[in-house]
Structure 1
Amino acid sequence: MASVAGLGSRAALGLCATVILLDMAFCKSVVQDLDDSFKENRKDDIWLIDFYAPSCGHCKKLEPIWNEV
C-alpha cells in the first residue's frame, strides 16, 4: 500500500513540474522599462495598466468589462 501512495505523489510531482515548465515556455510577459522621458510622455497619452490577479475580487468583477473594451 505504501508503494501506491509513493507512486501517486511522484505522479503529482511530475505533473506539477510539467505544468511549470510549460508555463515558463509558453507564457510571456511584457515589462516596459521606464526611462527619464516617462514623466513627460505620460502627459500626452491615455494609459491603461493591465494587471489581473485571479484571487482578487475587484479584478474578477472588472474582467468582463476589460475584455469588452
Structure 2
Amino acid sequence: MTLPRTTRAPRVPRPRDLLRPVLAWPVTAQATACRNALGATTVLARERAEREEVEALLAALHAERARA
C-alpha cells in the first residue's frame, strides 16, 4: 500500500524577511553615494591637474613670446 503524497503549504514569509530589504536600504544608499562621490572627486582632481598644466604651458609660452 502506497501512502498518498501530501502537498506542502506555500511558505509564508516572516515579517522580518519582508522588512530586511527596507531596513538595509539606507546603508546601501549611503555606500553607493560614497562611491559616487569618490569617483567624482577623482575626476575633478584629474581635470584640475590638467587645467593647471595647460595654464603653466600657456604662461611659459606667453613669457617666451614677450621676451622675443
Q: Which structure is higher in RCO with an 8 Å CA cutoff and minimum separation 6?
A: 1
Give the alignment's TM-score, normalised by structure 2: 0.39
Give the alignment's TM-score, normalised by structure 1: 0.38
Q: Which structure features the higher share of helix residues?
A: 2
Structure with higher Rg: it is 2
